[in-house]
């Protein structure tokens, strides 16, 4: 199956795109949930837990996306991203609004931590295309390594797949060398069939990552949704030979949650995806719980939230 060979046709033809997406195998919701529930019972202990905690930390996009964000808060977050403390490795990236990208770039300078910026009228995605592109260009110009865009869910749900495709492709073009993460906002897609179609649509249009959620809509990341997205990147790799990453974002707060996602990656897409280049956890409070568990594994006791920094 060489679907990308026909990608040009997709852009030209709403119908060929629809035919392709609706020809993907269906997802049985009950079965997908049962599989996600079964994998959630995996028991990760001892050395494997130690390994998983550090892997999870290295996959975090440490995030702050609030109207009340300040340069000071972003600087504090960058400091923590570079050195979370307790001997833990740095996180993968910091994720901020476009206007705070320069602060973040300065904050992580000289470290391996990347700067990701949300763009394209985050979180609703409701703006004209040229406004969205300007948003992306400003973030990239300010030094963002990664751009997290949102898709037009209204267009997707009404079946205007070509519009969504063209928008993603245009943003991809505006990103230049920056990596593109495409947020599907699965909480608004309502079915797992839609999640699979949106995943393929984003990958065909050039996404480097597909991402579950903005974090502003409930439910955000869930295990069944992430399962379906991992199956999609696995199948896309099999068909096209291009490895697309997955980012689970929102609602992942505890070490237990994080390890469940790693198990899901391990047993669905496989160990090649267990790499910060191909799997990310978008989170803010998760890091502290991971650090607390990490410390417990080393010292045999919990210190408590007072010993973890708030930003």
Partner 1 sequence: MRFEYSPAPESRSVVRLRDSYGLFIGGSFVAGSSAFKTISPATEEVLAEVTHAGPEDVDRAVAAARQAYERVWSAMPGRERGKYLFRIARIIQERARELAVLESMDNGKPIRESRDVDVPLAAAHFFYHAGWADKLGYAGFGPSPRPLGVVGQVIPWNFPLLMLAWKVAPALACGNTVVLKPAETTPLTALLFAEICQQADLPPGVVNIVTGDGATGQAVVAHPGVDKVAFTGSTAVGKEIARACAVSGKRVTLELGGKAANVVFDDAPADQAVEGIVNGIFFNQGHVCCAGSRLLVQESVADEVLAALRRRMGTLRLGDPLDKNTDVGAINSRAQLDKISELAGSGEAEGAARWSAPCPLPDRGFWFPPTVFTEVSQAHRIAREEIFGPVLSVLTFRTPAEAVEKANNTPYGLSAGVWTEKGSLILWMASRLRAGVVWANTFNRFDPSSPFGGYKESGFGREGGRHGLEAYLDVVGGGDV
Q: Among all residues, which ones are annotated catalytic? A: 148, 211, 247
Nearer to partner 1 (CB atom), residue 80 or residue 196 = 196
Residue labelled with tokens 């993603």:
168
Beta carbon of residue 109, minimum distance to partner 1 (angstroms, whole number): 27
Please say which residue, 21 or 168, places its beta carbon nearer to partner 1: 21
Residues that bind partner 1 (CB under 8 A): 25-28, 30-32, 34-35, 41-49, 51-52, 55, 231, 262-263, 266-267, 271, 274-275
Tokens of 187: 């909480």
CA distance 59 to 160: 34
User: Can you tell me which residue has the tokens 């403390």?
Assistant: 85
Q: What is the DSSP string of 63-120?
A: E---TT--HHHHHHHHHHHH--STTPPP-SEEEE-GGGHHHHHHHHTTSS-EEEEE-S
Give the contacts of 143 (CB within 8 A, at least 6 positions apart).
101, 102, 105, 115
- Shortest gap between Cβ of 135 and partner 1 (angstroms)? 34
CB-nearer residue toward partner 1: 180 or 290? 290
Nearer to partner 1, 23 or 67 (CB): 23
Instruction: Provide, for the chain, the percentages of residues in helix, strand and coil under a 3-state DSSP scheme, each rounded to the nearest 5.
Output: 55, 10, 35
Angstrom distance (rounded) from CA 258 to CA 47:
16
In angstroms, the CA 199 to CA 31 distance is 19
Place of tokens 């910060």: 276
Q: Which is nearer to partner 1, 20 or 97 (CB)?
A: 20
State the CB neighbour count (10 A cutoff) for residue 140.
Answer: 21
Give the nearest distance from C-beta 29 to partner 1 in angstroms: 9
Give buried/exposed letters for 61-86 (b at 16+ CB in 10 A, else e): bbbbbeeebeeebbbbbbbbbbebeb
Minimum gap (Å) between residue 44 Cβ and partner 1: 6
User: 3-class SS at 146?
Assistant: strand
Q: How far is the CB of 25 from partner 1 (least distance, A)?
A: 4
Q: How far is the CB of 75 from partner 1 (least distance, A)?
A: 31
- Give the closest residue to 207 by CA, choosing from 186, 233, 226, 239: 233
Closer residue to partner 1 (CB): 14 or 54: 54
């Amino acid at each position: 199956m060489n679907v990308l060979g026909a990608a040009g046709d997709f852009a030209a033809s709403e119908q060929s795109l629809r035919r392709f997406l609706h020809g993907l195998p269906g997802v049985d919701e009950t079965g997908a949930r049962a599989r996600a529930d079964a994998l959630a019972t995996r028991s990760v202990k001892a050395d494997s837990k130690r390994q998983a905690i550090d892997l999870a930390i290295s996959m975090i996009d440490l995030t702050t996306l609030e109207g009340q964000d300040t340069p000071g808060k972003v600087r504090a977050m960058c400091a923590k991203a570079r050195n979370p403390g307790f001997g833990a490795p740095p996180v993968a990236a910091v994720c901020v609004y476009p206007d705070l990208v320069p602060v973040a770039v300065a904050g992580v300078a000289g470290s391996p931590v990347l700067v990701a910026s949300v763009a394209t009228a985050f979180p609703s995605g409701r703006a004209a295309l040229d406004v969205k592109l300007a948003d992306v260009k400003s973030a990239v110009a300010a030094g963002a390594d990664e751009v997290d865009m949102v898709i037009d869910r209204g267009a997707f749900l009404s079946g205007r797949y070509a519009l969504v495709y063209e928008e993603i492709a245009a943003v991809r073009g505006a990103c230049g060398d920056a990596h593109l993460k495409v947020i599907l906002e699965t909480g608004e897609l309502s079915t797992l069939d839609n999640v699979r179609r949106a995943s393929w649509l984003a990958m065909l249009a050039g996404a480097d990552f597909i991402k579950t959620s903005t974090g502003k809509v409930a439910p955000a990341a869930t295990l069944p949704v992430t399962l379906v997205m991992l199956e999609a990147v696995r199948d896309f790799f099999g068909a096209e030979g291009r490895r697309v990453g997955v980012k689970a974002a929102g609602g992942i707060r505890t070490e237990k949650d994080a390890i469940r996602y790693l198990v899901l990656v391990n047993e669905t897409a496989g160990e090649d995806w267990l790499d910060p280049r191909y799997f990310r956890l978008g989170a803010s409070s998760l890091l502290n719980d991971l650090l607390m568990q990490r410390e417990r594994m080393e010292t045999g006791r919990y210190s408590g939230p007072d010993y973890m920094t708030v930003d």
